[in-house]
Structure 1
Amino acid sequence: MQLSLQALSHRVGAAQHLYPLDLTLQAGAVSVLLGATQAGKTTLMRLMAGLDKPSAGRVLVDGQDVTGLPVRQRNVAMVYQQFINYPSMTVRDNIASPLKLHRTSAGGLPRGLSIDQQVDALAQKLHIEMHLDKLPAQLSGGQQQRVALARALAKGAPLMLLDEPLVNLDYKLREELREELSQLFASGDATVVYATTEPAEALQLGGYTAVMDAGELLQYGPTAEVYHRPASLRVARAFSDPPMNLLPALGQGQGLRLNSGLVLALGQALPQALQGPLTLGLRAHALRLEGGGAGELALQGRVELAEISGSDTFVHVHCAEGELVAQLSGVHHFELGAALSLYADIAQAYVFDAHGALLLAPQRRGG
């Protein structure tokens, strides 16, 4: 199914919730809506589903204008943050409800299966086959969300919308379900739109990513391409966790001069128009504790904070060039106020112009 949005916008009173945007989703693939809270993700999904009407613009499905059609007249499946199941119905009946209503075969399952066979197959895919005779209230949060996902899949809709479906689950459950969802969506039977605030989730789901901020669509494309070549500072900030380190700089000749006076040679001449204010970007994982290689940037500073998260350590360092966060593999211990040197390969640097547009990005391996 091909979903296209043309000059779509949404306003409530004087508040502009969504600015005019054009977006054609990749058919049969997962498209992630990535952005902070109130970026406009839920508003956009409600317009896609037909739950709300746009203030302007059109929604096209396979070239047909469906802008005025309410949600009940569209073949759309939705999964929300909350575990929305029918409390008085067993898990089996919850999953079977769309199959009985629409009398169609669930997406991704062989045709000709009975409703019970389809329910059994979906329950096995989501590892809830042992709970089919239970009521939702007897299940854990993760199990309830699996039921909601199974019911959405049972509908076999060509468009599936998932609005931060894992946000209320604990870390381990999120990891498990995220991996399972990637496998479920790999069949390409439906066009899937998945909203999240987490860059790591977008990277794990793969597919395509639309980066949103304050009601604006900033960039859309293959997830890896958007991550490695953010079109602007706004995209780079949204698609980095922890946020990309951004240092003010001045373009001079073939390099950048940082606030400390340190000159970073880029190995290529900057256009005359860019001999002025620029921004140097370094992702947190590009910073290291050991240097010594050619073409390295050495930054001297003092430790302000060190946090251990899982198998990584995040150290915040105050430097003359600016504030830095380094993501270091492994568990490290630092004394607050201690002197610390961080190193980065120049080849890992991003450069943005005075208006925030991307000028230079690290070259990806393989081209």
Structure 2
Amino acid sequence: MQLRLESIGKKVGSEDWLYEMSLSPQPGAVTVLLGATRAGKTSLMRIMAGLDAPSTGKVLVDERDVTGQSVRRRNVAMVYQQFINYPSLTVAQNIASPMRLRGEKNVDEHVRALADKLHIGTFLDRLPAELSGGQQQRVALARALAKKAPLMLLDEPLVNLDYKLREELREELGQVFSAGDATIVYATTEPGEALLLGGYTAVLDKGELLQYGPTAQVFQQPRSLRVARAFSDPPMNFFQAFRVPGGVQLPRSALLPMALPDAAAGAGQDVTVGLRASALRLRERDGDLSLHGKVLLAEISGSDTFVHLSSDIGDLVAQLAGVHHFTLGAAQTMYFAPSAVYVFDAAGDLLLAPSGARSS
């Protein structure tokens, strides 16, 4: 199924909730809607589902105009943040309900297969209220998959689960989605979730569609500062700098040798340098540049250590693999390769991405 949003916009009163945008999620793949709260993700999904009509533009399904057509007349499966299940039906009956509506054969066998895939096979005879939050959300996901709708919309389905459950379900969902042929649209505020699910990503901010494309490409080549901020966790480090012959000069720090595009403004032009937290390291390699600072905070999360430092060019955060121990207030030098740097012009548009992130 090909869903296409053509120049759609959404106004509520005098307020723009969605500015005019066009988007065609890739058929049979996952498209992630990534953005902070109030970026417009839910408003966009409600228009895709037929729960709301756009103020401007058209919604097309296989080139057929379905703008204004209610959700009841569309073949859509939806999963929300809340655990929406039929409370009086068992887990098995919840999952089976869309299959029985279609008059499908071998329902029990298909229910068992879906339940096993989502690791709820031992709970089939229980009621939803007897399950944990994570187990209830798995039931809702299984029922949505059982509907076999060509379009499946998931609006931050893991946000109300604890960290461990989110991690487990993220990995499982990636496997489940890759095995199906439905078009999946998945809304999240978390860049890590978008990277894990892969597929395609549409970055939204304050009702604007900033960039859409293959997830890895959008992550590696954010076309603007706004995209880079939205698609970085931990946040990308940004430093003000200016262009000089042969590269970019960081105030009170080293020259970053690089060849900026000829179309960029000349020497003296203000630019913004971006450096991902994962690009910083403790040990120097050939060709590295250094940043000197003091440790403000060090915290261990999972298998990584996050170090916050103050430096001559501003505060920064480094993401280091493994467990490391630091003394608060101690001097600390971090190293990075010039080839790991992003450069944005005065308008916030991307001038240069890391050498390994350039498109082929």
TM-score range, shorter chain: over 0.9
- The equivalent position to 1:362 in structure 2, one of 330, 354, 359, is 354
Identity rate, percent: 64
Distance in 1 of aligned mates of 2:264 and 2:207: 35
Shift of 1:253: 1.1
Partner secondary structure for residue 273 of structure 1 = coil
1:118 aligned to 2:142?
A: no
CA 1:3–1:196 in 2, change beyond 3 Å: closer, same or farther?
same
> Aligned residue for 1:179?
171
Contact 1:274–1:353 (CA under 8 A) maintained in structure 2? no
Distance 1:354 1:309 in 2: 35
- Give the 3-state SS of the residue equivalent to 2:202 in structure 1: strand
Amino acid at match of 1:135: L
User: Secondary structure of 2:294's match?
Assistant: strand
Q: Are the equivalent residues in 2 in contact too, given 1:253–1:269 (CA < 8 A)? A: no
Is residue 277 from structure 1 mapped to residue 270 from structure 2 by the alignment?
Answer: yes
Amino acid at match of 1:234: R
> Could you tell me how far 1:187 is from its partner in structure 2?
2.8
Partner of 1:108: none
Match of 1:138 in 2: 130
Please name the residue that 1:77 is paired with: 77
Q: 2:286 aligns with which of 281, 293, 298?
A: 293
Question: Is the Cα–Cα contact under 8 Å of residues 255 and 270 in structure 1 kept in the other structure?
Answer: no
Structure 1 Cα separation of the partners of residues 140 and 42 of structure 2: 18
Question: Letter of the aligned partner of 1:284 in structure 2?
Answer: A
Question: Structure 2 CA distance, aligned partners of 1:28 and 1:189?
Answer: 5
1:316, distance to aligned residue in structure 2 (A): 1.0
Q: 1:159 matched to which residue of 2?
A: 151
| Corresponding position of 1:86 | 86
Shift of 1:267: 4.8
Q: Which residue of 1 aligns with 2:9?
A: 9
Residue identity in the other structure for 1:43: S
Quote the residue 2:18 is aligned against. Answer: 18
Mean Cα deviation higher: 134-143 or 120-129: 120-129
1:320-347 CA-to-partner distances (Å, cap 9, x unmatched) read 1121110111222222221111111001
The whole-number CA distance in structure 1 between the counterparts of 2:212 and 2:337 is: 28
Q: Structure 2: how far apart are the matches of 1:326 and 1:303?
A: 11
Give the TM-score normalised by the residue count of structure 1.
Answer: 0.94
- What is the rounded CA distance, in whole Å, between the counterparts of 1:249 and 1:35 in structure 2? 27
Q: Which runs of 5+ in 2 are unaligned?
A: none
Kindly indicate whether the alpha-carbon contact (under 8 Å) linking 2:221 and 2:357 is maintained by their aligned counterparts in 1. Answer: no
Q: TM-score, normalised by structure 2?
A: 0.96
Give me the whole-angstrom Cα distance separating, in 1, the residues matched to 2:201 and 2:42: 15
- Match of 1:109? none
Cα root mean square deviation, aligned: 1.6
How far apart are the structure 2 equivalents of 1:101 and 1:30?
26
Where 1:116 maps in the other structure, the secondary structure is helix
Partner of 1:35: 35
- 1:86-109 per-residue CA deviation (whole Å, 9 max, x = no partner) reads 1111111111111222335xxxxx
Query: For 1:353 and 1:70, how far apart are their aligned partners in 2?
Result: 45
Q: Is the 8 A contact 2:52 2:68 kept in 1?
A: no
1:264 to 247, 251, 256: 256
